[in-house]
């Protein structure tokens, strides 16, 4: 959620507008909902206690009292906690009944309402799959509509994601204020969105943008100083009031005020109707933390809706309780022709000229980094466990216990994708909750992986013998294929000499403000792919030469800080969400120290940035690493990257730290950034009347680049950052923020981002021709995202060498390898017990057969993604034919492959999504565009994500 002061509430209360021209009586769909943040200001546990459990308890009770009443449920984390720990058997039966009657509807159905700017597509899919798996297993239902009302801007990846999951329509709210005003005026808030340029109409989705009132009911009513239409008031923390009297409860509906209530509601319905093409009006009834006392909500609204309907001739409006599905069904049945929106997204997002929501792209960088490392470890653990179960059916490890260990990290990684989680827009105690849950899940999965290794190698456990290690002095190169495991025995040398000895050369600290440009001395650092020159007058990088083409790019890097205001009386402020710099960024250092460590495998260049020539301490440093690949190793990726690790902090208050890389490339100030690690967006620099710097910041989840006609400089990241091109040939990455302000709203909720940490993000630079970087950056990005998990442990002293037979049968026997333009995105055992046959699953649920039981270890979930766009590369952009039986041969003999929707709940052969009429495709109908597999051979087209259930012989 976000500051309520940012919602533009412009209700003209009594100006009863005439009905929209020629469309007849208006019909308002009153959608009851509660926006329940999985985090933000309060922890999940605090929210469950204060209000969230009461939402489901009281809503279910009230829905049973009136057949006309309806409600939509969104975030599954809260619902699942209620279902498992609070709901009685009677309430559970009632939920089943309400779902069958269509009066309770799950929308989105993910664990959370995920952020769209700084999340990776893998993790979006994970959290959606987690929620959908629970809903299908428990109720046999599959959400078909989105309700993405609160993420701060809208990504073009999301419409593709929801299309692949089987959704029929998509709903968003937060887009740029001036763009929304223009779309409202021209009745263009609804369109068919083709989010992927390669998938185009095959995975398009009808999209509804909420009007200026967004997802909340108008908050004031003219005849009362209390909130409008919130008869239960505002949730109280930490405890619900014992007398049931909450702050700011709306006046009850009585004979004396019912006409005033009706006029107010009708006026708002008519105002909204003027912004849309049909006479169907979506009227969201609810807001943050609402419906914790559903009795008082429905008893008042019942009276109001009855009154309006009895006087519909006078008002020109009818009203009804509805779900999101009811509303979209009404729009779909109108059979109108809709405009197409291409793959352009709605980022960045601003609510006012000085309120650019681009700060959260970087807020809480450490949390962003840990969330991504946890995600990577989860995928390693999932695939390791899957291969182990397939190859060691008679294992000593308890599979159910192992699945619980994986589920703890699935839950934590899903939870932090919330739009006030990984965004860094939460209070400190909520950040601690996310971190604790992530670290607990990480510990569990590492423990599981160590147990698998011990079991396969039949080793004795000696206490805490597993860990992960990063040893900068390791001098032994090893080659490991994807999805495979290698074991090495390492012994200390008798002479106790390191396996690798580097030669360190320290250079004199240089005053960069008095550098002599006349007598330039350049220090070369070279590997097989690049020559990097450092200017010894400044100790700064000077240029990079790509050795194969002999192309040289002048390239310098410097740290700068944006100074921001913290006093609301003096102007706009930066906070967790917003970035509002006072002026241009200011260089932070006047002196730079340089040290180079030369070695056989790696050369590390260490630069230390000092505020002045006499300073002893630094808060900025860069460690640049270049790798030399020995003979006999395929080192194409390793050689072609310049790895940089930054150390930034602790910052002074109200400083935002950036690394600016300046080149002589003529980029025309064009920047390219990724959407959620899935596709690339072109970002042209735009001049604004106000706040131009901040409104030209964009999220970089994994990739950003600048280029001229021949050469491209790519940046690959292992966590999200804000990124911008503030000048020709420049790209700057925001690395850290530390802020405090006196805005009372921020202070009340402890949302001032006083982050005094030191952050250590990593970015890989790749320089070369467009053709070369096109080939390199997809696989390099995956290599950075999924770095090898290194474990070490003490094996028993007298352990004999492994028999050859065991080596052949263990996980490292035969890796699963896919062609270079494909990515094996998921290989896991979800454990769901639901039937793949929908009719059978619905029958099982109806007959009460879906009780607790052992998890299903026979079903393997496989996802394959094509990494390239149509036309991006002459070879790698081609469709790829894959024989799944051959691909998975190392895991056993495949006997059955079922192709499924993205989250696994639909058989693609039965998935018929609504096809909306457009000028391009003038007929309405159903869309089913997947080429289903025969004989386990599938053709994967550019940007497709194909999902399968795979079953093996002997299961």
Residues with catalytic roles: 150
**Kind and range of the H or E run holding 444:** helix 428-457
Q: Which of 154, 159, 145, 148 is nearest to 201 (CA)?
A: 159
**How many Cα atoms are found within 13 Å in the side-chain-facing hemisphere of 695?**
20
- Adjacency order of strands within the sheet including 205-209: 169-172, 205-209, 190-193, 340-341
Q: How far apart are CA 534 and CA 537, in angstroms?
A: 9
Q: What is the rounded end-to-end Cα distance, in angstroms, of the chain?
A: 46
Count of Cβ atoms closer than 10 Å to residue 689 Cβ: 6
Judged by DSSP in three states, 713 sits in strand
157, 676 in Cβ contact below 8 A? yes
d(C-alpha 61, C-alpha 492), whole Å: 68
Task: Write the CB contacts of 544 (distance below 8 Å, at least 6 apart in sequence).
Answer: 530, 531, 532, 533, 552, 553, 555, 642, 765, 767
DSSP alpha helices (H): ranges in 598-660? 636-639
CB atoms within 10 A of CB 639: 17
Dmax (CA) of the chain: 97
Tokens 């050859």 identify what position? Answer: 804
Buried b (16+ CB within 10 A) or exposed e, 930-947: beebeebebebbbbbbbb
Looking up tokens 């533009």 gives: 8
Q: If residue 273 lies in a helix (H) or strand (E), which one and from where to where?
A: helix 258-273
Contact 602, 628 (CB under 8 A): yes
How many other β-carbons are positioned within 10 Å of the β-carbon of residue 660? 19
CB atoms within 10 A of CB 848: 9
Q: How many CA atoms lie within 13 A of 701 on its CB side?
A: 26
Residue 626's H or E segment, with its range, is strand 620-627
What is the C-alpha separation between 647 and 654, in angstroms, rounded? 18
How many helices (H) and strands (E) the chain has is answered by: 21, 40
In degrees and rounded to multiples of 5, residue 482 shows phi and psi of -60, 150
Mapping DSSP to helix (H, G, I), strand (E, B) and coil, where does residue 604 land? strand
Give the residue among 207, 163, 202 at the shortest CA–CA distance from 346. 207
What proportions of the chain, in percent to the nearest 5, are helix, strand and coil?
Answer: 30, 25, 45
């Amino acid at each position: 959620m976000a500051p309520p002061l940012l919602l533009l509430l412009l209700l003209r209360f009594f100006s009863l507008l005439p009905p929209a021209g020629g469309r007849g009586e208006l019909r308002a769909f009153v959608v009851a909902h509660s926006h329940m943040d999985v985090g933000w200001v309060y922890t999940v546990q605090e929210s469950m206690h204060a209000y969230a459990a009461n939402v489901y308890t009281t809503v279910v009770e009230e829905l049973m009292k009136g057949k006309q009443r309806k409600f939509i449920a969104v975030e599954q984390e809260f619902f699942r906690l209620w279902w498992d720990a609070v709901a009685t058997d009677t309430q559970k039966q009632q939920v089943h009944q309400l779902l069958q009657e269509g009066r309770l509807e799950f929308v989105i159905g993910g664990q959370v309402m995920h952020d769209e700017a700084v999340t990776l597509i893998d993790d979006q899919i994970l959290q959606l799959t987690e929620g959908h798996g629970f809903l299908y297993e428990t109720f046999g239902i599959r959400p078909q509509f989105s309700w993405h009302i609160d993420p701060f801007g809208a990504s073009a990846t999301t419409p593709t994601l929801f299309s692949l999951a089987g959704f029929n329509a998509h709903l968003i709210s937060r887009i740029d204020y001036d763009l929304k005003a223009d779309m409202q005026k021209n009745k263009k808030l609804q369109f068919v969105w083709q989010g992927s340029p390669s998938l185009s109409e095959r995975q398009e989705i009808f999209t509804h943008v909420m009007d200026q009132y967004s997802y909340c009911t108008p908050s004031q009513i003219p005849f009362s100083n209390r909130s409008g239409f919130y008869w239960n008031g505002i949730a109280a923390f930490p405890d619900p009031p014992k007398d049931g009297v909450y702050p700011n409860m709306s006046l009850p509906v009585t004979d004396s005020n019912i006409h005033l209530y009706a006029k107010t509601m009708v006026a708002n319905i008519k105002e909204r109707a003027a912004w849309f093409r049909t006479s169907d009006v979506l009227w969201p009834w609810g807001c943050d933390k609402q419906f914790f006392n559903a009795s008082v909500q429905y008893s008042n609204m019942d009276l109001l809706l009855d009154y309006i309907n009895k006087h519909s001739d006078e008002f020109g409006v009818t009203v009804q309780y509805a779900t999101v599905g009811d509303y979209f069904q009404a729009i779909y049945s109108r059979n109108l022709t809709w405009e197409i929106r291409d793959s352009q997204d709605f980022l960045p997002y601003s609510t006012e000229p000085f309120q650019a929501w681009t700060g959260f792209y970087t807020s809480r960088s450490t949390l962003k980094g840990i969330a991504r490392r946890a995600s990577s470890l989860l995928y390693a653990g999932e695939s390791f466990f899957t291969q182990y179960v397939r190859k060691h059916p008679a294992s000593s490890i308890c599979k159910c216990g192992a699945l619980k260990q994986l589920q703890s990290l699935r839950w934590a990684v899903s939870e932090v994708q919330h739009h006030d989680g990984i965004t860094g827009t939460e209070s400190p105690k909520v950040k601690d909750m996310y971190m604790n849950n992530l670290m607990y899940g990480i510990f569990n999965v590492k423990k599981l992986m160590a147990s698998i290794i011990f079991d396969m190698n039949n080793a004795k456990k000696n206490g805490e013998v597993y860990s992960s290690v990063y040893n900068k002095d390791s001098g032994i190169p090893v080659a490991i294929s994807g999805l495979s495991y290698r074991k090495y025995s390492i012994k200390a040398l008798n002479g106790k000499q390191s396996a690798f000895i580097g030669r360190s050369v320290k250079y004199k600290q240089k005053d960069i403000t008095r550098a002599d440009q006349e007598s330039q001395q350049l220090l070369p650092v070279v590997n097989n792919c690049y020559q990097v020159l450092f200017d010894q007058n400044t100790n700064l990088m000077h240029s990079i030469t790509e050795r194969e083409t002999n192309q040289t790019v002048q390239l310098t890097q410097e740290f700068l800080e944006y100074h921001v205001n913290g006093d609301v009386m003096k102007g706009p402020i930066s906070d967790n969400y917003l970035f509002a710099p006072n002026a241009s960024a200011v260089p932070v250092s006047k002196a730079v120290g340089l040290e180079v460590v030369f070695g056989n495998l790696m050369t590390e260049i260490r630069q230390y940035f000092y505020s002045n020539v006499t300073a002893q301490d630094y808060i900025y440093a860069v460690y640049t690493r270049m790798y030399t690949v020995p003979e006999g190793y395929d080192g194409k990726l390793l050689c072609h990257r310049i790895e940089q690790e930054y150390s930034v902090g602790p910052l002074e208050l109200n400083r935002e730290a950036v690394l600016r890389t300046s080149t002589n490339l003529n980029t025309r100030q064009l920047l390219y950034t990724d959407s959620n690690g899935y596709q690339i967006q072109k970002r042209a620099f735009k001049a604004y009347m106000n706040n131009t710097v901040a409104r030209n910041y964009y999220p970089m989840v994994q990739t950003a680049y600048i280029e001229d006609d021949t050469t491209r400089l790519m940046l690959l990241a292992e966590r999200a950052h804000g990124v911008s091109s503030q000048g020709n040939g420049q790209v700057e990455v925001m690395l850290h923020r530390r802020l405090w302000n006196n805005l009372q709203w921020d202070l009340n909720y402890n949302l001032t981002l006083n982050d005094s940490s030191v952050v250590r993000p990593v970015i890989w630079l790749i320089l070369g021709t467009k053709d070369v970087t096109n080939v390199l950056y997809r696989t390099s990005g995956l290599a950075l995202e999924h770095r090898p998990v290194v474990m070490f442990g003490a094996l028993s002293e007298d352990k004999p060498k492994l028999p050859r037979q065991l080596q052949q049968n263990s996980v490292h026997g035969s890796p699963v390898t896919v062609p270079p333009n494909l990515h094996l995105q998921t290989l896991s055992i979800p454990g769901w017990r639901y039937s793949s046959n929908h009719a059978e699953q619905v029958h099982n649920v109806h007959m009460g057969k879906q009780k607790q039981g052992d998890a299903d270890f026979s079903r393997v979930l496989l996802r394959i993604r094509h990494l390239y766009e149509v036309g991006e590369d002459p070879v790698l952009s081609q469709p790829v034919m894959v024989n799944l039986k051959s691909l998975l041969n190392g895991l056993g003999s495949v006997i059955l492959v079922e192709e499924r929707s993205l989250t696994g709940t639909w058989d693609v052969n039965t998935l018929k999504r609504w096809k909306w009429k457009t000028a391009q495709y003038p007929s309405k109908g159903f869309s089913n565009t997947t080429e289903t597999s025969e004989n386990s051979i599938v053709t994967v087209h550019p940007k497709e994500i194909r999902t399968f259930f795979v079953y093996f012989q002997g299961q």
